[in-house]
Amino acid sequence: NAGVTQTPKFQVLKTGQSMTLQCAQDMNHNSMYWYRQDPGMGLRLIYYSASEGTTDKGEVPNGYNVSRLNKREFSLRLESAAPSQTSVYFCASHSGLYETDTQYFGPGTRLTVL
Amino acid sequence: AQSVTQLGSHVSVSEGALVLLRCNYSSSVPPYLFWYVQYPNQGLQLLLKYTSAATLVKGINGFEAEFKKSETSFHLTKPSAHMSDAAEYFCAVRKSGTSYGKLTFGQGTILTVHP
């Protein structure tokens, strides 16, 4: 039982390049999330998927797109990376059944955009 | 909209001293509250959560937090700090009645433990 996994762990991009961050969970959770973490700002929600087949914008969606590929997988795409997208990206999942359930996090992807 | 404020971006204590990390929330309806810990270069791990069953919540690694509605607070405490407690701590709120488990996080507090 791996929980929430993310690939890659580290990535360096040049401005204008594109990339996709991958996330998978093996807990049969309905809901999945993408956050970015910046110093002094906590975690901010980029996009979330309440259930398979649905996605919605979070607090900071500009410059990102997502795909809920199936119940297990939720990817985040940067179409044209900018230095402002240098951050640590976390994927998380939640059962989607009970509000008191815990949200579980992956280990993160550290992205640098030059 | 609900929000969370963590007072103090950095807290420094000596080993064996009391740890107190402050969290205040604002929510128009009773919230669910969570404390997460992040060790260097790792993801977030749940320490404890308030789900309205009891106002004093005990978590892992000797941490506990008390929900005080009158003060809109959910401060995290540990009686005696250990070197291994050095990490960043995040308070988060989920408004009851919302769906899909979304969380709103505070800015984080970095805890340093001195020998």
Consecutive 10-residue averages of pLDDT for chain B (115 residues): 89 98 87 94 94 90 94 96 97 76 91 97
In whole angstroms, how far apart are CA B86 and each of A1, A66, B65, B81, B90? Answer: 27, 34, 18, 9, 13
Question: Which residue among A43, A96, A108 sits closest to B101, beta carbon to beta carbon?
Answer: A96
Chain B (6-65) residues lying within 8 Å, Cβ to Cβ, of chain A = 9, 32, 34, 36, 41-46, 49, 51
Q: Which of A76, A40, A66, A69 is nearest to A52 (CA)?
A: A69
Residues 6 or more apart whose Cβ sits within 8 Å of residue A102: A94, B34, B46, B49
Please name the residue of chain A whose CA is at the shortest distance from the CA of residue B38: A107
Contact A31/A54 with Cβ under 8 angstroms? no
d(CA A24, CA A2): 9
Task: Return d(Cα A70, Cα B3) in angstroms, integer.
Answer: 31
Residue A110: pLDDT over 70: yes
Question: B107 and A42 in contact by Cβ < 8 A?
Answer: yes
Percent of chain A with pLDDT over 90: 87
* pLDDT at position A85: 98
Residue from A6, A74, A99 whose CB has the most chain B CBs within 10 Å, to mutate: A99
- Is the model's pLDDT at A108 over the cut of 70? yes
| Residue among A45, A102, A105 minimizing CB distance to B43 | A105
User: Which of B96, B102, B108 is closest, CB to CB, to A45?
Assistant: B102
CA distances from A2 to A42, A44, A52, A104, B26 (A): 25, 24, 20, 11, 35
Cβ neighbours of A105 in B, within 8 Å = 36, 43-45
Mean local confidence (pLDDT), A40-69:
94
Share of chain A above pLDDT 70, in %: 100
pLDDT tens digits, one per residue of B10-39: 999 999 999 999 999 987 777 899 999 999
| B107 neighbourhood in chain A, CB within 8 Å | 40-42
Number of continuous H segments (helices) and E segments (strands) in chain B:
0, 11
List C-alpha distances in Å: B26 to A40, B44, B52, B69, B110: 19, 23, 16, 10, 22
